[in-house]
Amino acid sequence: MQLSQAVHAEIEARGESFVPPYPHRRTVPAGFWELYRLFRENMIATFSAADYHDPLIRARYVTVDLFTINDPELVKSCFQAQHEIFQAKTPQMRHALRPLLGDGLFVSDRELWAGRRAAVHPIIHASRTRDFAPIMVETIEEWRGQWAALGEGASLDVLSEMAQLTAEVISRTIFGRRLGRELTGEVVRGFSDYQAHVDQVDWLSLIGLPDWVPRFQGPAAHRALRRVHRVIDDVIERFARGEGDETAVIGQLFKARDGKGRKLSRRAIRNEAIVIFMAGHETTANTLAWAWYLVSQSLRVRAQLHAELDAELGGRSPGFDDLRRLGYTRAIIEETLRLYPPVPILGRQALAEGEIGGHRVRKGALVMVSPFMLHRRPEIWSMPDHFVPERFGPGMPRPGKYAYIPFAIGPRICPGLTFGLSEAILTLATLAQHFELELEPGHAVEAKCRLTLRPGDGLPMRLRLRG
């Protein structure tokens, strides 16, 4: 989407052009070991400057073909038109997450995925956001109280603050308010331990080793897994005894039916609850951490955000009905998701022979789309590396459906899209009315991709009270 001339003129008149950090883009080809290191440390750093212009990049690793798509028409062809062929997650993703999620819909495909998707989608769909908004609002208000108590000049790790806040929201949503408050810490600790001990790149699959060959996960990863499973099994037991809140996601999963009208087993309920917990909190947390950082670096954006919040809310806390009035706040979140999509790489494996851009794709080949790279392709976006929320502002043309894909696209599109967007807007709007966050002087922010894209391992900022 090209920026309108008026927006260009305004940015130039104010003399501000902020380019937030992105990984170094190579101009010479990387050798095998350099690529190996980058794959392990920061996958988005593997792309070269030329890759950003290429619609399709083809490579072969030992016996496996890899197609990297960087073009809206090809995204449409793969993720929508050829969904049947390209719906499976990569072996790397499956092996990293299956021990945790079991057959949960995030890592499953074909009939099993379709049945689970039919059961889960209506529970967290956009139409349910109004019901979940009070949990969001009450949790954000608690954070406002905690930050106010910390006071002017307090030091915060904003990445960790946002991770805790969004974990609380999703925990209360899944387990119900009372149980959620008790359990968030325990589940989050289990997840973090698991993530710290699991190898995200499964090299055995890249050299073509079949799925059935067992992959080794160390004892620490197994311990973390057992902890998460025990906590959730315990909750499910309590719900089964009628002790849970029926409106909570677990209560709804008990009533849900798969595509064939069958109830979910206890094991399936556990797996889907873990999927929603995992998929639904770190993504929103990273979005918010990046948004705080970006807002802190742009006087223009900060002033416009405050102007909107003061005019629309005047000090009162926003609720679900305010979302449609907070157009600039939404634009900040959408621009944040363009520059730093929390899932920066979407990977698929071909279940059968397919076709991409006129090339035959063999069964088993890997297909990858990087929303991070696609969202910065100069042929699609003007000022692609600049932070310019105005491009998503009211009255601007929406970007193409297959060019802007922070929530993926096609039948596997994120079912928590509206939930995550609403939570991010409500959090930014509530807290930015009362506080400003200043980056700790001397701290260098870095875009780092492990399973999700984060501003480094922490985001130290200073709290300033507004007005």
What are the tokens at 367?
């297909």
Which residue number, 120 or 268, has a Cβ lying nearer to ligand HEM? 120
Sign of the C-alpha dihedral computed for residues 105, 44, 63 and 204 taken in this order: negative
Q: SS3 for 463?
A: strand
Hunting for tokens 């954000």 — which residue is that? 140
Which residue number, 113 or 463, has a Cβ lying nearer to ligand HEM? 113
Q: SS3 for 219?
A: helix
Q: SS3 for 215?
A: coil
Is the separation of the CB atoms in 97 and 195 below 8 Å?
no
Is the separation of the CB atoms in 291 and 332 below 8 Å?
yes
Task: Report the residue closest to ligand HEM, judged by CB.
Answer: 416
Q: How far is the CB of 284 from ligand HEM (least distance, A)?
A: 4
Closest CA to 96 of 86, 106, 87: 106
Q: How far is the CB of 108 from ligand HEM (least distance, A)?
A: 8
Tell me how far apart the 2 most distant CA atoms of the chain are, in Å: 64
Q: How far is the CB of 118 from ligand HEM (least distance, A)?
A: 10
Question: In 14-128, where does DSSP find H-type helix?
Answer: 32-41, 72-75, 91-101, 110-124
Is the separation of the CB atoms in 459 and 445 below 8 Å?
yes
Q: How far is the CB of 283 from ligand HEM (least distance, A)?
A: 3
* DSSP assignment letter at 354: E
SS (H, E, C) 401-444: CCCCCCCCCCCCCCCCHHHHHHHHHHHHHHHHHHEEEEECCCCC
Residue 42 phi/psi, 5° resolution? -165, 90
Q: How far is the CB of 31 from ligand HEM (least distance, A)?
A: 29
Give the HSE-up count for residue 119: Cα atoms under 13 Å, Cβ half-sphere. 32
Which residue number, 7 or 453, has a Cβ lying nearer to ligand HEM? 453
Which residue number, 64 or 278, has a Cβ lying nearer to ligand HEM? 278
Which residue number, 23 or 406, has a Cβ lying nearer to ligand HEM? 406
Q: How far is the CB of 235 from ligand HEM (least distance, A)?
A: 17
Q: How far is the CB of 226 from ligand HEM (least distance, A)?
A: 23
Which residue number, 11 or 179, has a Cβ lying nearer to ligand HEM? 179
Which residue number, 244 or 416, has a Cβ lying nearer to ligand HEM? 416
Which residue number, 11 or 97, has a Cβ lying nearer to ligand HEM? 97
Q: How far is the CB of 345 from ligand HEM (least distance, A)?
A: 8
Is the separation of the CB atoms in 268 and 254 below 8 Å?
no
Given the rule CB under 6 A, which residues bind ligand HEM? 105-106, 117, 120, 124, 275-276, 279-280, 283-284, 287, 342-343, 346, 406-408, 412, 414-416, 419-420, 424
Q: How far is the CB of 132 from ligand HEM (least distance, A)?
A: 8
Written as one string, the DSSP assignment of 303-319 is HHHHHHHHHHTTTSPP-
Closest CA to 68 of 59, 77, 76: 59
Which residue number, 42 or 349, has a Cβ lying nearer to ligand HEM? 349
Which residue number, 166 or 433, has a Cβ lying nearer to ligand HEM? 166
Q: How far is the CB of 124 from ligand HEM (least distance, A)?
A: 4
Which residue number, 6 or 126, has a Cβ lying nearer to ligand HEM? 126
Do strands 359-361 and 155-157 pair parallel, antiparallel, or not at all (unpaired)? Answer: unpaired
Is the separation of the CB atoms in 274 and 170 below 8 Å?
no
What are the tokens at 217?
């996960």
Q: How far is CA 423 from the centre of its chain?
A: 13
